[in-house]
Structure 1
């Protein structure tokens, strides 16, 4: 598959998970400095990984919530809470991920993740 097709497939998945408005804004705001990063994220992350058959999107979302909690990446966590909800993850499942992350990643990281997820779930995150 050529690079344009890989990028288009990744862009479609990215829009389905994160929402078209967010993704279209990120792509629109790309410039000479960060355009290569947008291409890399779209092609390798959203096509090469998210479109693999080994795990469904819900499972990938659950993994992302745990990993982003461990890495303490609030901006990305907010995006992926929204994506997880789009992928059928329930509030209860999100809660369970953060409770388990509290044990393995630390309570402060999990508390931040709960706070961020609540903003998204309650629609107070500006989206």
Structure 2
């Protein structure tokens, strides 16, 4: 394993606080990956969890989570949407607020995209309810 830099360690710590589980097993390169895989995962992780998510002076974590749900849904990237929905629920966004975001998204990103995204939200809502109102741990 490559030694983590202090910034990468900080990013991983922030990610764990936001996600509720360690991101390291998902981003640390595996032996079959090229040497620069660590550079990619380190840069991407630091950018998201050291630089962007902690910026709470003007947009709190809860709002940032709802924005991230809307962005991933609008782009139609459904597996990342699943993770963003879990982050949102874990950080205080209600299911009702998520539905309202999809209603707004349907107007500007399209009804078909909103329906596809809402199908993922339904699954995440069900797992959230099954877990007693706690976002599922990915570990």
TM range (shorter): 0.7 to 0.9
- 48-57 vs 99-108, which moves further: 48-57
The TM-score with structure 1 as length reference comes to 0.85
Match of 1:72 in 2: 76
Q: How does 1:1-127 map to 2 (within 5 A)?
A: 4-21=5-22, 23-28=23-28, 30=30, 31-32=33-34, 34-52=37-55, 53-123=57-127
**Structure with a larger share of its residues in helix:** 1
Q: Deviations over 1:7-45 (max 9, x none)?
A: 122111211222315x23303455436322211121111
CA contact (8 A) 2:12 2:24 kept: no
Root mean square deviation, CA, Å = 2.3
Quick one: distance in 2 between partners of 1:99 and 1:15? 30
Q: What secondary structure does 2:5 align onto? A: helix
Larger radius of gyration: 2
Q: What secondary structure does 2:92 align onto? A: coil
Residue-pair matches, total:
124
Quick one: distance in 1 between partners of 2:66 and 2:137? 23
Which structure 1 residue ranges, 5 or more long, are not aligned? none
CA contact (8 A) 1:18 1:80 kept: no
